[in-house]
Amino acid sequence: MNALPGAARPAQIVTSRETGRPPRWLPFLVLGIGLLAISFGAILARFAQANGLPSLAIATLRLGLAALIVTPLALWQSGRTLRALTRRQVLLTGGAGFFLAVHFATWITSLEYTSVASSTALVTTNLLWIGIASFVLFGERPGSLMLVGIVISLSGSLLIFWSDSRASVAGSAPLLGNFLALAGSWCFSAYLLIGRRLRASLPLPAYVWLAYGSAALFLVLGCQVSGTALAGYSGAAYLVALGMALGPQLLGHTSYNWSLRHVSPTFVAVVTLGEPVGSAVLAWLFFGESFAPAQAVGFVLLLAGIYLAARGEGR
């Protein structure tokens, strides 16, 4: 026998409080805030490069400073969890940190060779790779509305890339830059998939500290091997690096990591497809990188695909 409509709502609220689940709208709001913060990532990276910071140093400082900032919170809230880590959790954390390190190293380097629009459009194609991996590895089948959103969003990304390449905007070696951005997308896909498994058993401060910290260690090792210095740059360069740690990394990526416990990694990947829109608009404002009408159509497709995917995820 069906319950009365008026009686169902209080029961649902009690169940939600008992299970500790947030309201259904909260993950979508958090992801929106994270997307806005992450859209500044490419812009700040360009500013850091203009101030003399090498790409590998930018990636290292971004993650290293973020890990240092979150350390007190992680030790205070999750000290007992961190001391009780299993061997499997340590190995998975190392894997997540490795892929996150390679993601930032390749993607930030790509900005030296290609435009912001192309770089961000390609690095956010992780939706495709996560969808394939989730189906092959975990047997997860996205719903019909989610699939439509995926197709429309990817079409928008491809249109942005195609239009940008025809316009010959920025970049001394677009082919190399585009490949590096694509490699960054593969690595970020692996990072999200591993993160989903870890977030099921680790609180957010512990996971963020472990993932960002281990990624920073891998990047420091990369700097040592390549001879990239981390000291001796201007105060403005370090200020931009700090801004990247606070904004795109801690606010942006941490929003994504929090959401992994409440929505699927496929949907998180769909939301990241909105980054080219924000980054391209900001690149136009700060660097004068104009975009063609076809790119504007691509932006509209991206946003429409995200909306449809959100509807599918909500169902």
Residue-wise pLDDT tens digits, 84-117: 888 888 899 999 999 999 999 999 999 888 878 7
Which residues are CB-neighbours of 257 under 8 A, at least 6 positions away? Answer: 195, 199, 204, 207, 208, 211
How far is CA 197 from each of CA 153, 162, 265, rounded to the nearest angstrom? 26, 35, 10
What is the per-residue pLDDT for 15?
A: 39
| Pairwise CA distance, residues 217 & 223, whole Å | 10
What integer pLDDT is reported at residue 309 of this predicted model? Answer: 74
Task: Provide the pLDDT for residue 311.
Answer: 72
Give the residue ranges of the chain where pLDDT is below 70.
1-20, 138, 164-172, 291, 310, 313-315
∠ CA 33-36-41 to the nearest 5 degrees?
130
The alpha carbon torsion through 232, 64, 102, 178 (nearest 10 deg) reads: -60
What local confidence, expressed as pLDDT, does residue 20 receive? 61
Are 119 and 177 in contact by the 8 Å Cβ rule? The answer is: yes
Contact in structure between 311 and 296 (CB atoms under 8 Å): no
Contact 104, 215 (CB under 8 A): yes
Quick: pLDDT tens for 242-266.
999 999 989 998 888 788 778 877 7
Q: What is the dihedral of CA 12, 13, 14, 17, to 10 degrees?
A: 120
pTM of the model: 0.76
Distance CA 307, CA 237 (A): 37
* Residue closest to 201 by CA, chosen among 72, 85, 67: 85
Which residues are within 8 A (CB) of 38 and not within 5 positions of it... i.e. 6 or more apart?
Answer: 248, 252, 253, 256, 272, 275, 278
63/118 Cα distance (integer angstroms): 23
Q: What was the pLDDT predicted at 228?
A: 95
Structure tokens at 112: 């030296």
- Residue 313, pLDDT score: 61
